[in-house]
């Protein structure tokens, strides 16, 4: 079976309060996205890696690769106006039967073990979506401003990778874009597929705010001891 990893790196640095997109910020000596690509490259499945970037950032990325002597083989894909169209652009390049993991570039602490487990479950059941249980109480807000309690044990916070057999994910992305498609799982669910959850990792968080980068540095330093 052929394996692919689609690394989605179209974000900006707005919430990080930086001019540089967050996937290019330095984490323990190299850009965030390089940690992410390295994790997939080290996984047992050895996927072919597609990196989806804003085309305006191609030059910046190529310069960073030279500066950091980054030589892991990967293919650049020009992203679209939304995450939906960015992922679709990568999927359109995959023509063979495969298992495809789609991952946020700014989740650099993903483990090779979790990547491998996601590929294995998707190969077995068609899809695998990494998620962690909510630690906090959760309420559902109504239109009138009131809310009701939800059973916390039934609520999971979705991460990436979200992994699918190519036949499933490519068909799902034939749908017209819908603003309710917040991730790949919602696209596939909109196509009529049931989603299989895989136990995630609290360390596999998304770097969104400045404090997230500092926490990631602490975790990496702790693991290197």
How much is the pLDDT for 19?
75
Threshold 0.85, pTM exceeds: yes
**Tens-digit pLDDT profile for residues 45-63:** 999 999 999 999 999 999 9
**Tens-digit pLDDT profile for residues 175-201:** 999 999 999 999 999 999 999 999 999
The mean pLDDT of 133-154, rounded to a whole number, is 93
Nearest Cα to Cα of residue 97 among 43, 49, 164, 188: 164
**Residue 12 clears pLDDT 60, i.e. is over it:** no
Domain range for 18: 2-223
**Tens-digit pLDDT profile for residues 156-174:** 999 999 999 999 999 999 9
Measured between alpha carbons, how far is 181 from 161 in angstroms, rounded to an integer?
16
How much is the pLDDT for 17?
56
- pLDDT confidence bin for 16, thresholds 50/70/90: low
- Helix ranges, the chain (H): 32-41, 58-67, 83-91, 112-125, 166-172, 184-190, 210-223
**Tens-digit pLDDT profile for residues 96-131:** 999 999 999 999 999 999 999 999 999 999 999 999
SS3 27: strand
Q: What is the DSSP string of 29-70?
A: TEEHHHHHHHHHHTSTT--EEEEEE-GGGHHHHHHHHHHTT-
Measured between alpha carbons, how far is 98 from 183 in angstroms, rounded to an integer?
20
Measured between alpha carbons, how far is 113 from 97 in angstroms, rounded to an integer?
23
**Tens-digit pLDDT profile for residues 84-100:** 999 999 999 999 999 99
In sequence order, what are the beta bridge partners of 127? 164
- pLDDT confidence bin for 75, thresholds 50/70/90: very high
Q: For the chain, what is the domain count?
A: 1
CATH number at residue 120: 3.90.550.10
């Amino acid at each position: 079976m052929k394996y692919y990893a689609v690394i989605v790196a179209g974000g900006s640095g707005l919430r990080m309060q930086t001019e540089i997109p967050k996937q290019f910020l330095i984490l323990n000596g190299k850009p965030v996205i390089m940690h992410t690509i390295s994790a997939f490259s080290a996984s047992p499945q050895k996927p072919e890696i597609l990196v989806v970037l804003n085309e305006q950032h191609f030059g910046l990325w190529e310069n960073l690769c030279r500066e950091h002597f980054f030589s892991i083989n990967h293919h650049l894909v020009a992203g679209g106006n939304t995450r939906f169209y960015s992922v679709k652009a990568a999927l359109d390049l995959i023509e063979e039967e495969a298992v495809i993991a789609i991952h946020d570039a700014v989740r650099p602490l993903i483990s090779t073990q979790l990547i491998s487990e996601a590929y294995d479950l998707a190969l077995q059941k068609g899809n695998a979506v990494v998620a962690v249980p909510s630690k906090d109480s959760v309420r559902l807000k109504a239109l009138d401003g009131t809310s009701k309690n939800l059973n916390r044990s039934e609520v999971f916070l979705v991460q990436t990778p979200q992994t699918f057999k190519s036949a499933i994910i490519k068909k799902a992305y034939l749908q017209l874009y819908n603003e309710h498609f917040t991730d790949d799982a919602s696209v596939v669910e909109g196509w009529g597929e049931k989603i299989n959850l895989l136990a995630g990792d609290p360390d596999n968080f998304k770097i969104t705010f400045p404090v997230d980068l500092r926490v990631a540095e602490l975790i990496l330093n702790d693991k290197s001891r």
